[in-house]
Amino acid sequence: MSKIIAEIGSNHCGDIELAKEMVIAASDAGADIAKFQIWSVKNLKSGPWDEDGRTELYKKSELTKEKVSELYEFCLEKNIKFLVSVFNKYDLDLLPKEYHDIIKIPSTEIDNLDLLKECRDRFDEMIISTGSSTIDEVYAAYNMCSPCCMMHCVNIYPCPFKDANLNRIGLLKNTFDKVGYSDHTIGLAAPIYAISHGCIYIEKHFTTNRDLPGRDNKFSIMPDDLATLCSIRDDINNMTQTRQHNYAKDEEEMRKVYRGRWGR
């Protein structure tokens, strides 16, 4: 059964009340998990983000240890699972000590061996995104952290359909026990495909206002679309739960009454 991750990320722009509103909206839409991104700007290296305004947005969206704990407790209260992406082992200190259920490794950190080792030893379950990765890097991360869920991902924001490479989901499923999909396309077609092909986690960027600052808000889905995705997920899960080769019980009348009714 597929689980839907509402990737709030940093769409809250550091506003804890807005983050809570997004959690409520995700829960009301039927999502299983509300996911955030955590970082400490003091650990950020120099790069193009210093020139294009992203560093200021990172500072604004940074979640303190107190805010992370508050969101963790709030998710528990709203009956939606809490999840974070973390970008280095030091920022794991932002998480509550009692939190060791599940962690997400973003694509950019698939080769961060120190982070992988720390998370492997600390958390019960790991989800690893594979965007921008060679297959050798994917195997190396899996071999270090198995059992874990490997998420197909293409790190283009937003991702054109021609680059979605959804056939890679099948290739990953041939190798790994647990496979998911982290989607950056526009709309619902790609995550619906992933659900129908047995991905256990479906991650979709989520917001309640596309006019908020930041790149991710612009291509995130809104609550109505998230509710539609969750509803379709439920329908697909229902339609694929039966795994029998013979006919269904309710087909018995067709066999007894209608077979041969026109003569043979």
pLDDT digits (tens, 9 = 90+) for 106-163: 999 999 999 999 999 999 999 999 999 999 999 999 999 999 999 999 999 999 999 9
Q: What pTM was computed for the model?
A: 0.95
Q: Quick one: pLDDT at residue 242?
A: 80
- The domains found in the chain, sorted by start residue, are 3-258 (3.20.20.70)
- Judged against a pLDDT cut of 90, whether residue 53 lies above it is answered with no
Helix 223-239 and helix 189-196, axial crossing angle in degrees, nearest 10: 20
- Across 144-181, b (16+ Cβ under 10 Å) vs e yields ebeebbbbbbbeeebbeeeebebebbeebbeebebbbb
- Judged against a pLDDT cut of 90, whether residue 43 lies above it is answered with yes
Flag the least confident range among 46-50, 128-132, 210-214, 241-245: 241-245
> Percent of the chain scored above 90 by pLDDT?
94
- For 165-197, write each residue's pLDDT tens digit: 999 999 999 999 999 999 999 999 999 999 999
**What HEC string does the chain produce?**
CCEEEEEEECCCCCCHHHHHHHHHHHHHHCCCEEEEEECCHHHCCCCHHHCCCHHHHHHHHCCCHHHHHHHHHHHHHCCCEEEEEECCHHHHHHCCCCCCCEEEECHHHCCCHHHHHHHHHHCCEEEEECCCCCHHHHHHHHHHHCCCEEEEECCCCCCCHHHCCCHHHHHHHCCCCEEEEEECCCCCHHHHHHHHCCCCEEEEEECCCCCCCCHHHHHCECHHHHHHHHHHHHHHHHHCCCCCCCCCHHHHHHHHHHCCCCCC
> Percent of the chain scored above 70 by pLDDT?
100
Average pLDDT for the chain: 96
- HSE of 138, CA atoms in CB hemisphere, 13 A: 20
- For 225-252, write each residue's pLDDT tens digit: 999 999 999 999 999 888 789 999 999 9
Q: Quick one: pLDDT at residue 244?
A: 86
Q: Quick one: pLDDT at residue 112?
A: 98
- Judged against a pLDDT cut of 90, whether residue 214 lies above it is answered with no
Q: Quick one: pLDDT at residue 32?
A: 98
Average pLDDT over residues 40-62: 92
Q: Quick one: pLDDT at residue 141?
A: 98
144 neighbors 117 (Cβ within 8 angstroms):
yes
- Judged against a pLDDT cut of 90, whether residue 30 lies above it is answered with yes
Residue type, 230: C
Confidence of residue 101 (pLDDT cuts 50, 70, 90): very high
State the first-to-last Cα distance of the chain, in angstroms, to the nearest integer: 44
Confidence of residue 85 (pLDDT cuts 50, 70, 90): very high
Q: Quick one: pLDDT at residue 224?
A: 98
Confidence of residue 37 (pLDDT cuts 50, 70, 90): very high
Pairing of strands 178-183, 149-153: parallel
